[in-house]
Every structure is written in C-alpha cells, then in structure tokens.
Amino acid sequence: MANTSQSLRRAALLVSAVAVLGLTTACGDGSGTVSSPQTQSGTAAPAGGDPSADGSGTPVSPSSGSDTATGSDSTSTSSGSSTSSSSSSGGSGVTGSSRCHTSELRADVGDNDPGAGQENFPIILTNFSGRTCTVRGFPGAAFVNASGTQLGANPVRESGGTVTTVTLKPGQSAWAGLTFSNPEISGAKTATPVTLVVTPPDEKDPLKVTWTNGTVPVSGNSSSVRLTVFSAGTGA
C-alpha cells in the first residue's frame, strides 16, 4: 500500500514538471529561453487627422490672391480715388469705344432745387470730345475735405429708376440726381466738403468738382446721400 502511494506521488510530480516545461517553451524563442517583448517601428498620424497639416503639426495655409473688380459703377474711396465694382452694376451694357471715358467728359454740379426737406442737385457730365459717346447707369460720387478724406458714407442708389443709354454728341450733357435731407431738419451731423468726386459709369478715373453748396450730412439721422441714374439734359 505504501509502495502504491509513493508511485502515485512520483507520477504527479512528473506530470507537473512536464507542464511547466511546456509553458516555458511556448513563451521562448525556441532555444528554451524567454525572449523580450517585440515592438514595431512606424509613423503615427498627426493628432486630429487635419488633412491640411504638412506633417510638422503646422496647418498649411492656402495660397493667397486678390481679385480686382472691374466693370460697372465706381465707388469712391476715402482717399478720393475710385475703384470699380462689378457686383453693384447700375450702368454698363454699352461697352467698347461707344462709352464716354473720363478723359472725354467734364463734370459740374447744377443749382439746388430744394423741396419737402430735401436738397436736390444735378450732377452733370458734358461730352467735350470730338466724337459721339454714351453714358448709362449711376455715377460714383463722394464728398471729400481739403486733405482728400471722404466725408460720410458712400451714396445710396435710388431703386426704381429706369436705366437708359444716353447718347451724347459733342457738347451734349447727361445728368444724375444727388439728393439728401436738409441737416437742419433731420438733425444729422454735418461737414463741409471742399470737393465732390464724380466717377462716370464704367470708368475708374474720377473727375473733381469744387463744392460750394455748404454743409452735407455725414452721420446720424437721415444722413444718407442718394443718387439716381443718368438722364439726358442738364436737369434744369
């Protein structure tokens, strides 16, 4: 009986030893020794996965550019010069050599025709060239002081007017209305311009007219200055 117990004990010890040996071999490199954990080299994607990144973590800026608008009515800038804006077209439609260019025109401001608290002045363009040409749409306009700084906002275009092509033979004129509320009635803040800068439709170069008609509204209540499209004549 004692021999049988000893035999069973030896058999159990032998089984345990074989099991331990099997585990050691499974975690090793085949030589009976345990190998170190393995790592793989690689490149991690940038955090956030920003497709505009250049790989250094710095976003890549898009290439810059600028658009130069050309075409219809001109808008005067604070320096008294003008730039054109095709998005706010009021004139155009007549292109090429038929259009009157700034160098062929003279600008004047006619007499005030006040009414119902409004001051109304015609802006007159006269063709002094030796050829027939046309104007169509709104002028660009701005009041400026002696240093050339614009006073007030750009004039607002009156809606509802009929845009027509005005043909000017040498010596003939077209006019557009410039109107604003009398500041003494509206209570708007005022300034006294030295010059009215006028840009013909579809042109970039302005004409300058000496302003002799006193103060104009530049901010506050009813300070908007308004323009109408050109019509034939002088507005008298």
User: What is the per-residue pLDDT across 120-160, written as a single tens digit (0 to 9) for each?
Assistant: 999 999 999 999 999 999 999 999 999 999 999 999 999 88
> Which residue, among 142, 135, 145, 147, has the nearest Cα to 82 in the 3D structure?
142
Token duo for residue 133:
């040409």
* Burial (CB count within 10 angstroms: exposed 0-12, middle 13-18, buried 19+), residue 72: buried
Question: Considering only 54-58, 88-92, 139-143, 161-165, which range has the smallest mean pLDDT?
Answer: 54-58
Report residue 229's pLDDT band, with 50, 70 and 90 as the boundaries: very high
The pLDDT of residue 177 is 98
Report residue 86's pLDDT band, with 50, 70 and 90 as the boundaries: very low
Q: Is 34 a residue whose pLDDT tops 80? A: no
The pLDDT of residue 41 is 29
How many angstroms separate the CA atoms of 101 and 204, rounded?
Answer: 9
Give the DSSP letter string of 91-148.
S-S--GGGBPPGGGEEEEE-----BTTEEEEEEEEEE-SSS-EEEESPPEEEEE-TTS
The pLDDT of residue 83 is 29
Token duo for residue 186:
């509206």
The pLDDT of residue 236 is 84
The pLDDT of residue 91 is 41
224 or 27: whose pLDDT is higher? 224
pLDDT over 70, % of the chain? 59
* 217-235: average pLDDT: 95
Q: Is 215 a residue whose pLDDT tops 50? A: yes
Token duo for residue 74:
């001109």
> Which residue, among 196, 198, 200, has the nearest Cα to 210 in the 3D structure?
196
Q: Is 168 a residue whose pLDDT tops 50? A: yes
The pLDDT of residue 58 is 27
Give the global pTM: 0.60
Q: Is 87 a residue whose pLDDT tops 80? A: no
> Which residue, among 154, 128, 146, 141, has the nearest Cα to 198 in the 3D structure?
141
